[in-house]
Structure 1
Amino acid sequence: MLIHSQIVEFKAEEASTFGYLAHPKGEGTFPGVVVLQEWWGIDTHIQQVTERLAQEGFAALAPDLYRGQVATTVEEAQRLAQQLDRQSALQEIQQAIAYLENSTLVTPNKVGLLGFGMGGSLAAMLASTGHQPGALVIFYGGSGDPNNPSHQEAIQTTNAPLLGIYGGEDETISPEYIRWLEDKLTAYGKEHQIIVYPQATRSFFNTTQDSYRAEDADDAWQHTLAWLRKYLVKG
């Protein structure tokens, strides 16, 4: 499928925010997906994900939460992630969703969230604060505190159908936490699916990292497309 990609500008709290937009060429409307970056920024990987979604028939927008900065080392990524104002980032994500919802490219009320790492955490945060995307896909997001009542409340208030994808060897997220999360989602009656790739580490989907695992990444991509299509296309 032929696609078109460009940098677009939208407003968040009266300030300009930019994002990387990709969509199929031609007339028609498409389901929308907001793609949320790993702690590296809007790098080659995130641009490729956005373009791959467009090739599959989605209008995809990745808001640039770092405002042009892209980390190339772990130290830079840690610094940028720590400096990011989470509340401002959530507002910018909401504006990205609004941009798609108001675009002539996008089927009304059919916008989902796809987040990686830090972006997965932000997607979960937004979905628990009252804004319910049409679908929610999280790749190796953050690990919450099961003993913190607010974390359980966040799960309880999230109504978006959730696909969670994790690596079994991810040192930042324990298998115990993943089991706890799935138990809570089930107990609260939330539409969800949790997939764990036993041999994968964090960022196994990222083609630019040594942690990339092609077979697991390909399988995870098919699950992602199926989830988005189920809730954004067929719903």
Structure 2
Amino acid sequence: MSESPRSTGRPAHQNVTFDSNGTPAHGYLALPPQGSGPGVIVIQEWWGLTDHIADVTDRLAAEGFVALAPDLYGGNVAHDSQEAFRLMRELPVERGVDLLAGAVDHLLALPEVTSDTVGAVGFCMGGGFVLYLAAKDRRVTAAVPFYGVIQGEVPDFSNLRAQILGHYGERDESIPLPTLDGLRATIAKQSGVEADFRVYPADHAFFNDGRPEVHDPEASAQAWAATVDFLRSGLSGS
């Protein structure tokens, strides 16, 4: 039986350090009110582990998940798009996936995690990393990319186990809608998984309520409700 945070002495919200392929890595962990639940990895936008990503992590915890947001930039947070682009480019995809795999190791080892697998939710750059991670790591069984940007080559999905629910904005110029058809077809051909890509009358980053110029409350509410239901149904042992 999983222990509660009261019995383990673990704070409900805390910064954590974990091993990632022999290298110390860091992240933000949030526990649910009941003390235990299925595990979910939250993957940052290109800005870094911002207040918005911490808030999403807290919101998932409030919904009953043990949520961990790894810090892919080692403490750096971008303050403008030029810096964000530089930080993203300085993070090789393989290194990012390795770090995320270490976060999965850490999450599944926590006594508070009741699931045998994890979900992964990511935004922009992090949405792309959701797909890269799920393609490589069969411990991910529920993958939710929000306007996920694929960097470089599309991953090989032949090892994919996860079901996929994606959220995209029809006015998102960084992800032309026709590319979703090609991505969906590739995933289905290589893995047999039929990805559920949903499109909203919104812009890129429509879920980020810290950016009022693009935030869409209605689309965000719809995507969030679908995401929570999808994660609850997609995690084994939960």
Same fold (TM over 0.5): yes
State the partner residue of 1:83.
Answer: 90
Report % sequence identity: 37
* Residue matched to 2:168: 166
**Residue-by-residue CA offset, 1:125-153 (whole Å, 9 max, x unaligned):** 122224340210001112578xxxx74x7
Q: Which among 177, 180, 204 is matched to residue 178 of structure 1? A: 180
Does the C-alpha gap of structure 1 residues 190 and 211 become closer, same or farther in structure 2, counting only changes over 3 Å? Answer: same
TM-score (norm 1): 0.89
Structure 2 partner of 1:129: 136
* 8 A Cα contact 1:143 1:177, kept in partner: no
SS across alignment from 1:19: strand
Aligned partners of 1:33 and 1:140: how far apart in 2? 18
1:66–1:123 distance in 2 versus 1, CA, 3 Å: same
The answer (yes or no) to whether the contact 1:109–1:134 under 8 Å persists in 2 is no
CA-CA distance at 1:158 after TM superposition: 2.0
User: Which SS does the other structure have where 2:132 is aligned?
Assistant: helix
Mapped to 2, the partners of 1:6 and 1:143 lie a distance apart of: 30
58, 62, 73: which one aligns with 1:55: 62
Superposition map of 1:76-115 within 5 A: 76-115=83-122
Secondary structure at 2:141's aligned position in 1? coil
Could you say which residue in structure 2 is the equivalent of 1:8?
16
CA gap of 1:221–1:201, structure 2 versus 1, over 3 A, is same
Cα offset, 1:90, TM superposition: 1.1
Q: Which segment is superposed worse, 187-196 or 39-48? A: 187-196
User: CA RMSD, aligned part only?
Assistant: 2.1
CA distance in structure 1 between the partners assigned to 2:187 and 2:102 by the alignment: 28
Structure 1 residues 234 and 99, CA gap change in structure 2 (3 angstroms): closer
The range that moved more, 97-106 or 85-94, is: 85-94
| 2:200 corresponds to 1:193 | no
Instruction: Give yes or no for contact 2:184–2:194 (8 Å, CA) kept in 1.
Output: no
In the TM superposition, residue 4 of structure 1 has moved relative to its aligned partner by 1.6
Alignment check: 8 A CA contact 2:119 2:231 kept: yes
Determine the C-alpha separation between the residues in 2 that align with 1:87 and 1:161: 22
Task: Give the TM-score normalised by structure 2.
Answer: 0.88
Gap runs ≥5 in structure 1: none
Aligned partner of 1:229 in structure 2 is: 232
Q: Give the Cα–Cα distance (whole angstroms) in 2 for the partners of residues 177 and 33 of structure 1.
A: 27
Q: Report which stretch shifted further, 48-57 or 185-194.
A: 185-194
What is the letter of the counterpart of residue 157 of structure 2?
I
Q: Which runs of 5+ in 2 are unaligned?
A: 1-10
Q: Distance in 2 between matches of 1:121 and 1:84?
A: 13
Give distance in 2, aligned partners of 1:122 and 1:169.
Answer: 22
**Residue type of the partner of 1:201?**
D
Change in CA separation of 1:87 and 1:25 when aligned onto 2, cut-off 3 Å: same
Map 1:4-43 onto structure 2 (within 5 A). Answer: 4-27=12-35, 29-43=36-50
CA contact (8 A) 1:143 1:172 kept: no
> Structure 1, residues 47-106: CA drift from partner, whole Å, max 9, x if none?
000000000000000000101111111111111111113222111100110111111010
How many correspondences in the alignment? 226
